[in-house]
Amino acid sequence: MRKFLKGFVYAWRGLITCVKEERNFRFHLVVAFHLFVYLPFFVLTRAEVCEIIILCGLVIAAEAMNSATERAVDATGRHNAAAGAAKDVAAGAVLTLAITAAVCGVKLLWQPAAFRAIAAFYIRRPWAAILQGIAAAGGVEFINGRRRGSR
């Protein structure tokens, strides 16, 4: 049982490493965060909400796997065509999944009434628009922020 529980510690450590060191991972987290902030404005079935949650999770997990692939290839110390191809293929897999998720997102979320409701929400609550602006700026800083100790 102890080994099993330690697996969760290692997994958590891996996710923290991705957050600290992988800009694209942070980008996908920020996109998912903002998507979930706006999700209540859309008319979706439970299955459609689950589809969005699953796609977000898959993109984030694929980004983590891409990071693991890059680290494993880099750890070999070999810089050859096969190593480069392995990294490119892993990145291509993330791109494929991200594009698929974006297409599904547009298909599910293209609801002009929801866009009007979001606009009306911010018109009635200017303070919320300010908070959203701050959250967006924080997201950009989070994505582009430097690791601690770097120059």
* pTM score of the predicted model: 0.87
13, part of any domain:
no
pLDDT at residue 38 in the model: 96
Q: Kindly indicate the confidence band of residue 149, based on its pLDDT and cuts at 50, 70 and 90.
A: very low
What per-residue string of b and e applies to 80-94 under the rule 16 or more CB within 10 Å gives b? eeebeeebeebbeeb
36, part of any domain:
yes
pLDDT at residue 147 in the model: 52
For residue 99 the two structure tokens come to: 């594009």
5, part of any domain:
no
For residue 63 the two structure tokens come to: 């980004």
51, part of any domain:
yes
**Secondary structure (DSSP) of 59-99:** HHHHHHHHHHHHHHHHHHT--SHHHHHHHHHHHHHHHHHHH
At 67-104, the pLDDT tens digits run 999 999 999 887 888 888 999 999 999 999 999 999 99
Please name which of 19, 16, 56 lies closest in space to residue 36, comparing C-alpha atoms.
56
Kindly report the CATH number assigned to the domain that includes residue 109. Answer: 1.10.287.3610
Residue 127 φ/ψ, nearest 5 degrees: -60, -35
Q: What's the total number of domains in the chain?
A: 1
Phi-psi domain of 149 (left: phi exceeds 0; alpha: psi -120 through 50; beta: other): left
Percent of the chain with pLDDT over 70: 96
Please name which of 144, 141, 119 lies closest in space to residue 129, comparing C-alpha atoms.
119
16, part of any domain:
no
At 21-77, the pLDDT tens digits run 999 999 999 999 999 999 999 999 999 999 999 999 999 999 999 999 999 999 988
